[in-house]
Structure 1
Amino acid sequence: MYKSLEVYEKFLKSEATKKTYLHYFNAFLKWLNQSLGNSITADGLLEMDQKSLQMYVEDYILNLRTRLSPSSLPSIIAALEHFFAMNDKDLQFKRIRKMIPPPNKKAGEHAWSTKDLQKMLRNSSPNRDRAFIHLLASTGCRIGALEDLELRHLLSMSDGCRAVLIYEGSNEEYWGFLTPEACNAVDEYIEERRRDGEAIDSKSPLFRSAYQVGAQKVKPMSIASAKMIALRLAHSVKRNKIGRRYDIMSAHGFRKRFNTILKSNDKANPSLAEKLMGHRGVFALDGSYLKPSVEVLFKEFKKHIPFLAIDDSERNKIELVQKEARIKELEEVNHVEIKEIKDKIKNHDQIMEAFSGLVDNLRKFTGNPNLLKSLEVGYIPDPNKKGPQIVLSREDDDIPPLIRQRSIS
């Protein structure tokens, strides 16, 4: 490899970005050689004077303006800028960016509907395609994440679900989850590979490349293959074409559906929903300070399972299970509340019994059987009877006070 390209690749972190940037750079180099009738290499490009390089890059962008949409140009310019910057060529890319025309109305803004996914499943026979559809629909992950997924990244959760560790070991690492029907689709695909002779272990790729014999060397499904599967599935569903593009992106339409479902749920926690999307969060500091556990995220995910489910019967089954769980929860709450009420009644009866005993003792002590009679249930006071009078007198200072007359009723 040319030294200039080694430097170019060295400072690109993501493998997907490396492939994309190299593709854009090689396309520029091919155009330049065709235009000049030469065979200039990447290293040879750096031997040109800066003024010529500036002119060639500008001509290339002007040429692309006639063929590509404005939204395609920024990433191409970024790829070229990275090459020249890493090889100490200071071109005026601020000026080059001024050549990008105003953006058109974006295509591909819509999401796949549940009915679209149902149609895809009806038109898909391979288990790999079915698992592919369910995983993207359930996790909403980017299609570039599939290449690195292995079976060890799946973690069993309650209610027939699984957690999926996406982008393990990177700054973008996050947890996604599989619905019960997605788990079933993945299990069927893995079992098919096992029957075909593949030795499955924890480090086996979740999606492997196409094979004739299961026992042959296992390679993970490439991003290019994943995009081709998404494109083939998209062709089985009717889409509206806007210019050269469609209103629903073949792969990203799954992610848009996932995002739409989460954000449309009134019970959703916005910050946790963003985490399930693999985003940093809603607020500026969520990326640094909000680090929810997989259990907390799963609790949030469970709110959306009925809406993420693709099969109508599966959705009805999930809703029934959730309703039964809710009924059981309410019954348990009612049982606790009834027990508390019974305990309060029991305590009340004990207090009243103790109070009744106290009154009986007072009546015996005072010799007045009508003492505190007015507190008894059903008591009707005598209207002709005078109110209570207590008269105290002392015949002598040394004699204790005597109750001369007491009429308490």
Structure 2
Amino acid sequence: MKSRIINKIKSKMKLYLDENQLVILDETLRNVLKDFDLVEAKCEFDVKQSQENSILLMNFLASKHVEGCSERTIRYYHSTIDKMLNVVNKKIEFISTDDLRKYLADYKDNNNASKTTIDNVRRVLSSFFSWLEDEDYILKNPVRRIRKIKTKKVVKEVISDENFEILRDSCSNVRDLAMIELLASTGIRVGELVNLNIDDVLFNERECVVLGKGDSERIVYFDAKTKIHLLKYLENRTDNNPALFVSFKKPYKRLGINGVERRIRELGNGANIKKVHPHKFRRTMATNAIDKGMPIEQVQKLLGHVQIDTTMQYAMVNQSNVKISHRKYIG
């Protein structure tokens, strides 16, 4: 305790004292303090301070909203940070690196959480405290010294050609068929799919304009088969809803993310194919595109990624092609 205080004082005085003077300061402080017992003051955490924490959290979430983060992402930030604040139970400016290390360790043990989950929590907390530091609410981000948690790189599955054909056959209506064809052909996110309007689709050019993360627009493309299924689906529509995909029953509301995810999951279960979800179509498209020789920069453009590293995480190189390439180029 005494040594820690002395080191803090010396650190503050480095700008004003040379090495010899710092040594003298160290000796003087130790002699003066040896006859004293020092007790660390505990910061009382009251209702007012809790309210101050909540205000800072709301300000942070508002900034994320302005940056264009999705509602789902903002909800995840909110729940993750709020849970930490309730457990640590300190005013934000007094939260230390040790507090957060203990919180992450306890979170892992109490929830039997994976390394990936813990690192996701760490990243959220780092974003929050970095924002607090940038906005001058705190002097230093306490997460900065908590290193990225090493996780295993899991090769995520894609939808095989055979399974995709089975999924096609399991579709009992033109809407579901058009929906999975569009997901597979364009690789768009499920949030982008549900926001599509009929007017966003240019059938002659076989392309559509989607609104991605951060409200950034981009053009994606679909194949001739998808065009046929989309037109057939729209021909069977009897409603006036501008949305591209709507529910079957009146008043024919626009399909939401949960509705699409639930329907895709039902199609997978009906076809006896495990873990079928909208994002799997996106990963499959990226993997197939790179596997067939599309430059990674073009795949990045199609997927709407800002960083090419993100695109690389979606693309899984086919091992058989690695073997063929090795024999072609190495021998």
TM-score using structure 2 length: 0.61
Hey, what does 2:277 align to over in structure 1? 250
| Match in the other structure for 2:182 | 135
Counterpart in 2 of 1:153? 200
> Which residue of 57, 60, 71 maps to 1:8?
60
After superposition, residues 337-352 of structure 1 pair within 5 angstroms as none
Give the corresponding residue for 1:60. 103
Q: In the alignment, what sits opposite 2:266?
A: 232
2:172 aligned residue (102, 125, 129): 125
Q: Does structure 1 conserve the Cα–Cα contact (< 8 Å) formed by 2:81 and 2:124?
A: no
Match of 2:73 in 1: 20
CA distance in 2 between partners of 1:143 and 1:131 (Å):
14
Selected match of 2:118 from 63, 70, 73: 73
Structure 2 unaligned segments of length 5 or more: list them.
1-50, 309-331
Report the alpha carbon displacement of residue 65 of structure 1 after superposing the two structures with TM: 3.1
2:250 to 213, 223, 226: 213
Instruction: Indicate if the aligned counterparts of 1:151 and 1:205 stay in contact, CA closer than 8 A.
Output: yes
* Structure 2 match to 1:97: 147
Instruction: Give the aligned partner of residue 287 of structure 1.
Output: none
The structure-2 alpha-carbon separation of the partners of 1:10 and 1:106, relative to structure 1 and needing over 3 Å to count, comes to same
Letter in 2 for 1:3: I
Give 1:236 shift.
Answer: 4.2
Give the 3 Å change call, closer, same or farther, for CA 106–169 of structure 1 in structure 2: closer
Question: Structure 1's 225 and 28: CA in aligned 2 closer, same or farther, altered over 3 A?
Answer: farther
- 1:263 aligned to 279, 290, 293, which one? 290
- Asked whether the equivalents of residues 194 and 245 of structure 2 are also in contact (C-alpha less than 8 Å), the reply is yes
* Distance in 2 separating the partners of 1:56 and 1:114: 49
Structure with more of its chain in helix, by fraction: 2
* Counterpart-to-counterpart distance in 1, 2:93 and 2:214: 39
User: Do the aligned partners of 2:170 and 2:270 also contact (CA within 8 Å) in 1?
Assistant: yes
Give the percent of matched residue pairs that are identical in Structure 1 and Structure 2: 21
- TM-score w.r.t. length of structure 1: 0.51
2:240 paired residue number: 199
Q: Give the CA deviation at 1:112.
A: 0.7
Residues 1:189 and 2:233 aligned together:
yes
Q: Partner letter of residue 207 of structure 1? A: F
Question: Matched residue of 2:240: which SS?
Answer: coil
Give 1:258's aligned amino acid.
Answer: M
Of 263, 268, 278 in structure 1, the residue corresponding to residue 304 of structure 2 is: 278
The one of 219, 227, 230 equivalent to 1:175 is 219
Indicate if the aligned counterparts of 1:156 and 1:163 stay in contact, CA closer than 8 A: yes
**AA aligned opposite 1:276:** L
Q: Which runs of 5+ in 1 are unaligned?
A: 37-44, 241-245, 283-409
SS in 2 for 1:174: strand
Distance 2:118 2:183 in 1: 28
- What displacement does 1:170 show? 5.7
The offset of 1:30, in angstroms, is 4.1
1:124-158 CA-to-partner distances (Å, cap 9, x unmatched) read 32443222211111101222322322222111225
CA contact (8 A) 2:201 2:207 kept: yes
- Asked if the contact 2:212–2:304 (Cα under 8 Å) also holds between the matched residues in 1, the reply is no
Bigger radius of gyration, 1 or 2? Answer: 1
CA distance in 1, matches of 2:291, 2:266: 29
Partners of 1:73 and 1:128 in 2: CA distance: 39
Q: 1:95 to 1:253 in 2, by over 3 A?
A: same
Rounded to whole Å, the distance in 2 between the matches of 1:118 and 1:230 is: 14
CA distance in 2, matches of 1:83, 1:142: 26
Q: Give 1:213's aligned amino acid.
A: K
Aligned-residue CA RMSD (Å): 3.6
Aligned residues: 248
State whether residues 158 and 280 of structure 2, in contact with CA within 8 Å, keep that contact through their aligned partners in structure 1. Answer: yes
**2:176 partner SS:** helix
